């Protein structure tokens, strides 16, 4: 199974991950792999345990952390690995602080290719080990190198690629009119970058001095340090006092456990952080017992991080993330959401300091635009991604004597990994990637005569997708949606949706007279963009906050909403707040029309917005923009009892949606599953 | 007399209300109650009738300063109720005296033995007509008397004779009462400085009311432990003093978690989160838009209200309707903490407009935002184009097709009763929205349900 997988994909399948809550959509279709994939890539904890329960009522049985990471007692190298590694890879950027200094990517590549180690697999039965392979980054790093080498013939030194990414990123910052976060200090840091390239990998690393020094240590020294940390942790756990920062302890514990786990010295932080969950689990259970005894005392007696970690079981997973992440991006979401990828705050600097995979310039630019939020919306992101793919395909150079399809797919995965690291994929993007990958798979089976022919074929496929599935679909959708607007209507819309904006503007152009109520909400305030676009188009608008909805809804005739996706049970995945709008409209007997192209449909089913979601940066919640009279919530990161949660999406139940407008016409939400099935049948019949 | 400064004080309070310098309904309620206490303690009001009229007059004046602050009317009704109750108590006392006197004089059988509602009904049917309708005196009503009388007529001669005997014993009652009242009335009018001897009781009642307002949060919070279970996830909306006190009290006994929304457009959720954390409660701040998503993991919504309306609905901070609907959708209890002083006798008719307060639109969209300038720019461009084309019609009015922008910023939401699970008030125990009608008769006199509507309308203009 692993071998099979190895041929088709790199060891780390960040693609399979949780794309905005996705199932392993865009991954390769290996049936044998499917089962593993679902366990590996789906939500790590299918049962969401309210954190408060975790600490107390759960008692001795498996703690949430244990559930997340796998059974606590199992040797890391055997069973827990598969589940641990990919989720580790989901946390790529923080993890990559570990250096693979001194590693020649070429030799590594040679060694790797035959067995194709899945990260876990790092210790296959044969005892084959991968010296100093940063799990989670190794393959992409290698492949990235290949790509980069092909792209611009620079030496394949990992940190070099990091610098490239940085340069690319700053270029992007300058080039992009919307302005990627090109902050002053980053700009100044940039010139120093080349000088540091040949140094220890971490030159510009965001990580602190300790990590840097770790990189400069020899292997033996590192191991010694690990031992020391483990000892320290044990002491802390035993004493039960003072040792602050449960997060840090968790991370170190993870390293220690990894070290003890046989072959563990080869486990880099990638899996180490995951192992930390297991490593910590028994300790936490112990302290759980203690806590049962002194529930009331907990938390207020200054037990520090350990007590907190014990008190709130499911905090642990996020804590391990925190351990690996630079302080600035330390996550403080509610523990209820510990199963979701934490907001990472990818910036120019953090990109530049990653010495993992190098990605082409275009991908770096795009990834940063995803990360800083200057490019939003399912369609816009997907279109930009496909255009970027076309550019990358053109730039890609296949090594002599190799097949394009086989060489490009890992490079593609590498790019996708980078995008995911910047921001989890939208369902639209996942579906597009899936389609491109299936095309690549076919090309592997029937290789086109030449590299150029292969490239042309793939580019054509991508362009087809772009034109037909998105642009043409949008035009058709708008045509159908306009029919639903009548003279004298008052249309309500929420936030910004490109296709809703297009519909309203087109209807206005077509001579229909109607007003629009634009409903908006913090923190994104995307409705302002909608408002400006509609006013510019000459439509009379009313603007209000989501909270005023019940005041507005009585005057409204129809509600038009955009969607990130419609799932096969008819629920609509869309910008957070959409569900509230739809629910209110439904209660007032106002028809709710959801505009969604069929390429955004997804066969997954989901019941609430918590099992899968995307967490956004919390900082905007702490400070209310445009309202100097509202005091900001300062110092919340240091305040252990305050958490901020910034969800990106919510889920609108199917029964409050009157109709889903697609390019095939307006259908009830229950028909989405049918359309998906038809599309699948089409796809399979069009296949070989 | 102190009446001149008193009127000035009333006017000053009204100005502060009009200028929105009085923050929140509790402050308005306290201010109103204090003013009414001053009014009543002034020696001018010597008879209950004058007192009622004056309280009404001043109350309407204050209410007119801020018609949407329904608690003002509520406090006035409470004060009127206190006065009316004292009047009734006084009457009953007099009647009892008279009855005792009559019983002593006539020695009729059964005259002095009964004090129950039913027998009272036979004694002086007229006296009870003005009393508040409640479970305790339901049978005392006039309609019931007639029914009983007809029933008595059809009874056997023996029992009717008995009843007749009692009736005869009671018959001097009304007449005697009337003459006694006349005497008292004369006495009052004659003796200029003579006080209504129940005035002190009224003032005591008012003091109790003011104390009730002062202790309101504590009284509500004392029930916290009954409603919050260990390990629950509680959702609260923005900042509320009452909710904060409630949760703090619960945190003394229970370990739970709170999800706080920002509460646009005032955005006090940040402060709420900070204060909850300071009280040792885990607080998670979310955007208002995430309330539906979060509701799937919430065990209870604890909300406050601006006013509790007669149908069991509430006027609550804006956005609460969404929270209530999301809660209903997820079958999450929606608990409203609400001092009984917020109980209003008004029914919601177009409440989103009639009971609402609209705030500065700049709180929603800063006027510096590009979208704000677009309609004007387009209008100017259109005019310029028309001028260039020699079209003078713009002078008569701009074309109606030009885009316009309206920004609304209401303060309150109407939450209908079917979305509310429970009211927790300072009056000891919770009740359902369907029980509100009962509470109305408990705290207000039926005659005061509508304070002088015509006068109020005139004052508002």
> Mean pLDDT across the stretch B419-424?
95
Q: Is A531 on the interface with B (CB under 8 A)?
A: yes
**What percent of chain A has a predicted confidence (pLDDT) above 90?**
30
Any residues with CB less than 8 A from the CB of A106 and at least 6 apart, and which?
Answer: A156
- Say if residue A190 is exposed, middle or buried (CB neighbours under 10 Å; 0-12, 13-18, 19+): buried
Fold of the A484-613+648-685 domain:
Rossmann fold (3.40.50)
Mean pLDDT, chain A, rounded, equals 65
Per-residue pLDDT tens digits for A486-520: 999 999 999 999 999 999 999 999 999 999 999 99
pLDDT for residue A11 is more than 50: no
Closest chain A C-alpha to B115 CA, distance in angstroms: 53
Mean pLDDT, chain B, rounded, equals 81
pLDDT for residue A388 is more than 50: yes
Distance CA A500, CA A478 (A): 8
> Mean pLDDT across the stretch B207-220?
93
> Mean pLDDT across the stretch B216-225?
92
Distance CA A32, CA A29 (A): 9
SS3 for B62? helix
pLDDT at position A403: 85
Q: Is A651 on the interface with B (CB under 8 A)?
A: yes
Per-residue pLDDT tens digits for A397-408: 888 888 888 888
Domain boundaries, chain A: 344-469, 484-613+648-685
A36 vs A233: which has the higher pLDDT: A233
pLDDT at position A156: 35
At A567, the pLDDT band (50, 70, 90 cuts) reads very high
pLDDT at position A347: 72
pLDDT at position A518: 96
pLDDT at position A221: 56
Domains A344-469 and A484-613+648-685 share a fold: no
Residues of chain B contacting residue A300, judged by C-beta atoms under 8 Å apart: 280
Residues of chain B contacting residue A644, judged by C-beta atoms under 8 Å apart: 284-286
> Mean pLDDT across the stretch A2-6?
42
Q: Is A334 on the interface with B (CB under 8 A)?
A: yes
At A539, the pLDDT band (50, 70, 90 cuts) reads very high
Closest chain B C-alpha to A547 CA, distance in angstroms: 4
> Mean pLDDT across the stretch A302-328?
36
Per-residue pLDDT tens digits for A163-210: 444 444 444 444 444 433 434 444 443 444 443 443 433 333 333 334
Per-residue pLDDT tens digits for B26-40: 999 999 999 999 998
At A625, the pLDDT band (50, 70, 90 cuts) reads confident
Any residues with CB less than 8 A from the CB of A523 and at least 6 apart, and which?
Answer: A616, A620, A621, A625, A646, B287
Q: Which residue of B has its CA nearest to A648?
A: B290
pLDDT at position B401: 84
- Cβ of A610 within 8 Å of Cβ of B262? The answer is no
For the domain covering A344-469, report its CATH number: 1.20.120
Q: Is A592 on the interface with B (CB under 8 A)?
A: no
pLDDT at position A228: 57
pLDDT for residue A112 is more than 60: no
Distance CA A353, CA A199 (A): 13
pLDDT for residue A419 is more than 60: yes
Residues of chain B contacting residue A294, judged by C-beta atoms under 8 Å apart: none
pLDDT for residue A248 is more than 50: no
pLDDT for residue A630 is more than 80: yes
Q: Which residue of A has its CA nearest to B321?
A: A550
> Mean pLDDT across the stretch A232-244?
45
At A472, the pLDDT band (50, 70, 90 cuts) reads very high
Distance CA A516, CA A503 (A): 12
- Burial of A83-112, coded b for 16+ CB within 10 Å and e otherwise, reads bbbbbbbbbbbbbbbbbbbebebeebbeeb
> Mean pLDDT across the stretch B357-378?
91
pLDDT for residue B372 is more than 80: yes
DSSP codes, B195-233: PPTTHHHHHHHHHHHHHHHHTHHHHHHTTHHHH--TT-E
Per-residue pLDDT tens digits for B54-103: 898 899 899 989 888 999 999 999 999 999 999 888 888 888 888 887 76
Of B329, B365, B404, the CB nearest to A540: B404
> Mean pLDDT across the stretch A127-132?
33
- A181: number of Cβ within 10 Å: 17
Give the β-pairing of B233-237 and A515-520. Answer: unpaired
Distance CA A351, CA A358 (A): 10
Distance CA A395, CA A152 (A): 9
Of A531, A550, A621, the CB nearest to B321: A550
> Mean pLDDT across the stretch B439-445?
90
Distance CA B374, CA B367 (A): 11
Per-residue pLDDT tens digits for B302-361: 999 999 999 999 999 999 999 999 999 999 999 999 999 999 998 998 888 888 889 999
pLDDT at position A561: 96
Peptide bond into B265 cis (omega under 30): yes
At B180, the pLDDT band (50, 70, 90 cuts) reads low
Selected residue of A55, A299, A580 to mutate for chain B interface (largest B Cβ count, 10 A): A580
Beta strands in B241-376 (DSSP E): 257-261, 282-286, 300-304, 307-308, 314-317, 334-337
- Cβ of B290 within 8 Å of Cβ of A576? The answer is yes
């Amino acid at each position: 199974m692993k071998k099979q997988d190895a041929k088709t994909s790199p060891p780390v399948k960040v693609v399979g991950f949780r794309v905005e809550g996705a199932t392993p959509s865009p991954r390769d279709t290996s049936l044998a792999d499917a089962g593993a994939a679902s366990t590996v890539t789906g939500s790590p904890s299918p049962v969401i345990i309210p954190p408060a329960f975790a600490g107390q009522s759960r008692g001795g049985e498996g703690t949430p952390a244990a559930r997340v990471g796998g059974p606590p007692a199992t040797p890391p190298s055997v069973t827990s690995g598969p589940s641990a590694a990919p989720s580790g890879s989901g946390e790529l950027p923080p993890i990559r602080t570990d250096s693979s200094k001194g590693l020649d990517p070429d030799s590594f590549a040679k060694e790797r290719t035959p067995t194709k180690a899945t990260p876990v697999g790092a210790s296959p039965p044969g005892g084959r080990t991968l010296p100093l392979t940063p799990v989670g980054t190794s393959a992409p790093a290698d492949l990235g190198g290949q790509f980069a080498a092909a792209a611009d013939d620079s030496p394949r030194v990992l940190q070099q690629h990091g610098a490239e990414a940085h340069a690319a990123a700053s270029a992007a910052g300058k080039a992009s009119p919307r302005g990627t976060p090109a902050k002053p200090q980053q700009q100044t840091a940039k010139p120093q970058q080349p000088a540091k390239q040949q140094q220890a990998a971490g030159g510009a690393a965001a990580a602190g001095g300790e990590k840097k020094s770790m990189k400069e240590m020899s292997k033996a020294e590192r191991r010694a340090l690990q031992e020391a940390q483990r000892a320290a942790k044990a002491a802390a756990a035993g004493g039960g006092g003072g040792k602050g920062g449960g997060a840090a302890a968790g991370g170190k514990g993870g390293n220690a456990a990894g070290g003890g786990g046989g072959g563990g010295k080869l486990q880099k932080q990638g899996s180490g952080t995951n192992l930390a969950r297991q490593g910590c689990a028994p300790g936490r259970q112990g302290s759980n017992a203690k806590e049962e005894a002194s529930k009331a005392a907990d938390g207020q007696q200054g037990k520090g991080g350990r007590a907190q970690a014990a008190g709130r079981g499911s905090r642990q997973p996020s804590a391990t993330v925190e351990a690996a992440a630079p302080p600035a991006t330390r996550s403080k979401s509610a523990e209820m959401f510990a199963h979701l990828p934490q907001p990472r705050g990818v910036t120019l600097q953090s990109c530049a300091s990653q010495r993992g995979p190098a990605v082409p310039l275009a991908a770096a630019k795009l990834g940063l635009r995803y990360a800083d939020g200057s490019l939003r919306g399912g369609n816009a992101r997907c279109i930009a991604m496909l255009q970027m793919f076309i550019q990358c395909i053109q730039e890609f150079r296949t090594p002599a004597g190799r097949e394009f399809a086989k060489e490009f797919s890992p490079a593609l995965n590498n790019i996708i990994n980078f995008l995911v690291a910047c921001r989890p994929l939208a369902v639209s993007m996942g579906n597009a990637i899936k389609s491109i990958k299936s095309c690549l798979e076919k090309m592997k089976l029937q290789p086109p005569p030449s590299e150029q022919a292969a490239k042309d074929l793939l580019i054509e496929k991508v362009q087809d997708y772009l034109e037909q599935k998105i642009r043409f679909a949008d035009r058709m959708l708008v045509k159908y949606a306009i029919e639903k607007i009548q003279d004298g209507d008052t249309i309500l819309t929420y936030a910004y949706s490109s296709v809703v904006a297009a519909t309203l503007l087109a209807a206005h152009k077509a001579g229909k007279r109607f007003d629009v109520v634009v409903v908006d909400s913090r923190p994104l305030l995307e409705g302002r963009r909608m408002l400006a676009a509609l006013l510019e188009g000459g439509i009379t608008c009313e603007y209000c906050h989501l909270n005023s909805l019940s005041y507005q809804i009585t005057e409204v005739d129809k509600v038009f909403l955009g969607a990130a996706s419609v799932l096969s049970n008819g629920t609509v995945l869309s910008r957070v707040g959409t569900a509230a709008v739809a629910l209110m409209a439904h209660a007032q007997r106002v028809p709710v029309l959801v505009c969604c192209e069929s390429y955004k449909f997804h066969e997954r089913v989901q019941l609430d917005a918590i099992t899968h979601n995307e967490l956004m940066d919390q900082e905007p919640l702490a400070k209310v923009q445009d309202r100097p009279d509202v005091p900001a919530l300062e110092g919340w990161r240091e305040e252990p009892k305050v958490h901020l949660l910034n969800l990106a999406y919510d889920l609108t139940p199917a029964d409050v949606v009157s109709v889903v407008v697609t390019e095939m016409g307006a259908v009830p939400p229950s028909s989405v599953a049918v359309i998906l099935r038809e599309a699948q049948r089409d796809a399979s019949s069009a296949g070989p | 007399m102190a009446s001149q400064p008193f009127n000035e004080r009333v006017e000053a309070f009204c100005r502060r209300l009009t200028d929105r310098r009085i923050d929140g309904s509790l402050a308005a309620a306290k201010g109103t109650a204090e003013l009414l206490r001053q009014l009543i303690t002034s020696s001018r009001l010597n008879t209950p009738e004058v007192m009622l009229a004056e309280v009404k007059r001043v109350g309407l004046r204050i209410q007119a300063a801020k018609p949407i602050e329904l608690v003002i009317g509520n406090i006035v009704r409470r004060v009127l109720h206190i006065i009316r109750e004292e009047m009734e108590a006084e009457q009953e006392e007099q009647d009892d005296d008279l009855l005792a006197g009559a019983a002593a004089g006539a020695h009729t059988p059964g005259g002095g033995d009964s004090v129950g509602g039913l027998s009272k009904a036979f004694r002086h049917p007229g006296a009870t007509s003005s009393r508040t309708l409640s479970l305790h005196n339901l049978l005392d009503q006039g309609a019931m008397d007639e029914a009983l009388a007809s029933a008595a007529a059809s009874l056997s001669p023996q029992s009717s004779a008995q009843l007749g005997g009692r009736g005869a014993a009671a018959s001097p009652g009304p007449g005697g009462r009337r003459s006694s009242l006349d005497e008292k009335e004369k006495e009052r009018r004659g003796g200029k400085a003579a006080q209504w001897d129940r005035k002190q009781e009224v003032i005591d009642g008012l003091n109790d009311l003011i104390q009730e307002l002062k202790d309101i949060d504590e009284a509500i919070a004392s029930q916290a432990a009954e409603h919050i279970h260990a390990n629950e996830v509680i959702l609260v909306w923005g900042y509320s003093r009452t909710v904060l006190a409630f949760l703090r009290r619960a945190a003394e006994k229970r370990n739970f978690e709170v999800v706080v929304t920002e509460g646009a457009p005032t955005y006090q959720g940040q402060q709420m989160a900070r204060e909850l954390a300071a009280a040792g409660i885990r607080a998670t701040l979310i955007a208002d838009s995430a309330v539906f998503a979060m509701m799937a993991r919430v065990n209870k919504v604890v909300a406050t209200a601006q006013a509790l309306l007669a149908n069991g609905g509430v006027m609550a901070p804006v956005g609460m309707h969404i929270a209530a609907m999301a809660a209903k959708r997820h079958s999450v209890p929606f608990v409203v903490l609400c001092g009984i002083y917020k109980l209003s006798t008004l029914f919601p008719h177009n409440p989103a407009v009639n009971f609402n307060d609209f705030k500065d639109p700049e709180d929603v969209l800063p006027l510096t935002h590009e979208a704000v300038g677009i309609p004007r720019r387009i209008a100017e461009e259109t005019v310029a184009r028309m001028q260039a084309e020699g079209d003078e019609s713009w002078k008569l009015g701009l074309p109606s097709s030009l885009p316009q922008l309206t920004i609304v910023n209401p303060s309150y939401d109407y939450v209908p009763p079917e979305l509310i699970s429970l009211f927790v008030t300072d009056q000891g125990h919770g009740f359902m929205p369907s029980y509100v009608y009962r509470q109305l008769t408990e705290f207000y006199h039926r005659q005061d349900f509508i304070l002088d509507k015509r006068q109020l309308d005139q004052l508002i203009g």
